[in-house]
Amino acid sequence: MQDLQTIEIETQANPTVAVIWLHGLGANGHDFEPVVPELGLPEGAAVRFIFPHAPNLPITINGGMSMPAWYDIKAMDLDRVIDTEQLMASARAVGKLVDREIERGIASENIVIAGFSQGGAVAYELGLTYPKRLAGILALSTYFATAKSVKPSQANAGIPINIYHGTADPMVPEALGLRSLEALKGMGYQPAYMTFPMEHSVCLEEIQEVGQFIRKYAL
């Protein structure tokens, strides 16, 4: 996979924290730009938000139509038949963005990986396997697609994980969020799980919780 194109927003000069936030199927890096001012971060916090654009891929469940995607989805049943190789390739591509932030002077333990829907599946894979300690994983309206194949790194054995899900999500049913929670617990992680009365989207209360997570684990 080619290097990912990104949008960057810095809340102050010389950032000491980075948040890499992955969008969902059919969206792009602009999708979550508007959340930055809503996070309620401290006025002096120097955070670089990185919003990558997924490459265009043909998507089986959409009749082979090409659209921004981190991987192909072949069936929409509860087990989500996906192209795992493409997901892994996306995780490696986002991993290069983590490497770049470290090269730019941000400590790995101050880097948060966030993802919505498809982006969250990539966030799980990358966040759990990255060889250096990260600040945390934010999983929004998503599922743990590689729970059976992931090879976690010891560096992130105790990584903070927050899972957020809409109770009325028709695209990624809450059952998948709960399944992710149980899989992570079974692997020894201690994720927090929060639900909101919404469909496949985000809400202000959730975004404020994300801000609290960034404050607690990265600032």
Instruction: Indicate the domain borders of the chain.
Output: 6-217
Pairwise CA distance, residues 6 & 16, whole Å:
19
At the topology level, CATH places domain 6-217 in Rossmann fold (3.40.50)
| pTM score of the predicted model | 0.97
Residue-wise pLDDT tens digits, 188-209: 999 999 999 999 999 999 999 9
Residue-wise pLDDT tens digits, 4-17: 999 999 999 999 99
Catalytic residue, candidates 31, 72, 83, 117: 117
Is 3 one of the catalytic residues? no
Is 117 one of the catalytic residues? yes
Catalytic residue, candidates 31, 72, 83, 169: 169
Residue 79 pLDDT > 90: no
Pairwise CA distance, residues 184 & 144, whole Å:
9
Cα–Cα distances in Å, from 166 out to 32, 76, 174? 17, 18, 7
pLDDT value of position 99: 98
pLDDT value of position 2: 77
Residue 94 pLDDT > 90: yes
Cα–Cα distances in Å, from 173 out to 19, 27, 41, 198, 200? 26, 19, 30, 11, 9
pLDDT value of position 76: 80
Is 66 one of the catalytic residues? no
